[in-house]
């Protein structure tokens, strides 16, 4: 596995994307690419800034290993997107979590959205591997390792995203008793990519814990995920408990296969069936900057 990097030289970034070092230096001097200088006066580029620039400029990542991502297979932007579900399933089913993480992280750096990766290869792969428990302990182990690999990839992606301290805040987590890690983590990564500061309370986050976080931080958006079956009355009680902390009414978004079918008529919240839908809503919210009144 490649060694993580914090800063890149202009030459490192140039080789990673297949351009000349002088081009990178020119982008830096023109203000398109932020950098710092060492005590000796040399330019150094933070990894998060390099990732931002590669994505926004539409550059091909030819040497992901130079960004600390390992020797993943490069692809061109016209080549049809990120890793296929089949490729990810193959890596995960063989226990090759390093290759799986590299596929996902490299695809994000090259411009694939977090929502697209979550709704595409990750979702498809885990739906297939999620049935392996029927094959006994070995299948269960493969499934759990696959979830861990995807979680690590998402956390790596999240760490690459720089969000200003002045950006709006989003807070969320899975309902109490819900042990599933990925849905809330996916929400946090998707929202971070779209410019939100995010506080993810993770799985099994009691409403009183989320209420405490909301009271102290006054978020613009609150998310709640449920992968376990939840009745309409349980959902109402959960949201009522959280709403006690609202100083200004945030947008409340819900998602997950465990939500009751009548959720649309039982809560004052936006309900989404995919990360792509959440991303579309969040993008609009960032564009308008609105906040509901109480």
Q: CA 23, CA 14: separation in Å to the nearest integer? A: 8
Question: Tell me, what's the pLDDT at 69?
Answer: 76
**């006690």: which residue's tokens?**
244
Q: CA 283, CA 277: separation in Å to the nearest integer? A: 10
Domain boundaries defined on the chain: 7-67, 79-160, 169-288
| CATH of region 169-288 | 3.40.50.280
Q: CA 170, CA 197: separation in Å to the nearest integer? A: 6
Answering whether pTM is above 0.75, one says yes
91-150: per-residue pLDDT in tens? 999 999 999 998 999 899 988 999 999 999 999 999 999 887 777 888 889 999 999 999
Whether the domain at 79-160 and the domain at 169-288 fall into the same CATH topology: no
Check if the beta carbon of residue 203 is closer than 8 Å to that of residue 187: no
15-69: per-residue pLDDT in tens? 999 999 999 999 999 999 999 999 989 999 999 899 999 998 988 888 888 887 7
Q: 2.60.40, 1.10.1240, 2.40.160, 1.10.3470: which CATH number matches 79-160?
A: 1.10.1240
Which DSSP letter does residue 257 get? T
C-alpha closest to that of 238 among 215, 217, 198, 210: 210
C-alpha closest to that of 158 among 181, 182, 185: 185
Structure token pair of residue 290: 């609105």
Q: CA 81, CA 148: separation in Å to the nearest integer? A: 23
Q: 1.10.3720.10, 3.40.190.10, 1.10.1660.10, 1.10.645.10: which CATH number matches 7-67?
A: 1.10.1660.10
């Amino acid at each position: 596995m490649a060694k993580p990097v914090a800063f890149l030289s202009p030459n490192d970034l140039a080789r990673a994307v297949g351009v000349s070092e002088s081009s990178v230096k020119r982008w830096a001097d023109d203000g398109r690419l932020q950098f710092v200088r060492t005590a000796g006066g040399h330019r150094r580029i933070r990894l998060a800034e390099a990732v931002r620039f590669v994505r926004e400029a539409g550059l091909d990542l030819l040497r992901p290993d130079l960004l600390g991502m390992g020797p993943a297979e490069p692809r061109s932007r016209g080549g049809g997107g990120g890793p296929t579900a089949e490729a990810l399933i193959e890596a995960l089913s063989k226990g090759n979590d390093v290759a799986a993480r590299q596929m996902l992280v490299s695809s994000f750096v090259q411009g694939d959205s977090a929502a697209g990766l979550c709704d595409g290869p990750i979702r498809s792969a885990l739906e297939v591997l999620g049935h392996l428990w029927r094959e006994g302990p070995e299948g269960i182990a493969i499934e759990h390792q696959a979830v861990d690999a995807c979680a690590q990839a998402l956390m790596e992606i999240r760490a690459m995203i720089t969000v200003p301290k002045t950006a709006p805040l989003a807070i969320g987590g899975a309902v109490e008793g819900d042990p599933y890690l990925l849905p809330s983590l996916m929400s946090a990564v998707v929202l971070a990519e779209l410019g939100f500061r995010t506080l993810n309370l993770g799985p099994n986050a009691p409403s009183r814990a989320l209420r405490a976080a909301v009271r102290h931080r006054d978020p613009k958006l609150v998310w709640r995920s449920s992968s376990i079956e939840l009745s309409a009355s349980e959902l109402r009680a959960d949201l009522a408990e959280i709403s006690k902390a609202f100083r200004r009414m945030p947008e409340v978004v819900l998602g997950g296969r465990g939500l009751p079918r009548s959720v649309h008529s039982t809560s004052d919240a936006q309900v989404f069936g995919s990360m792509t839908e959440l991303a579309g809503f969040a993008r609009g919210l960032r564009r308008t900057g609105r906040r509901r009144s109480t």
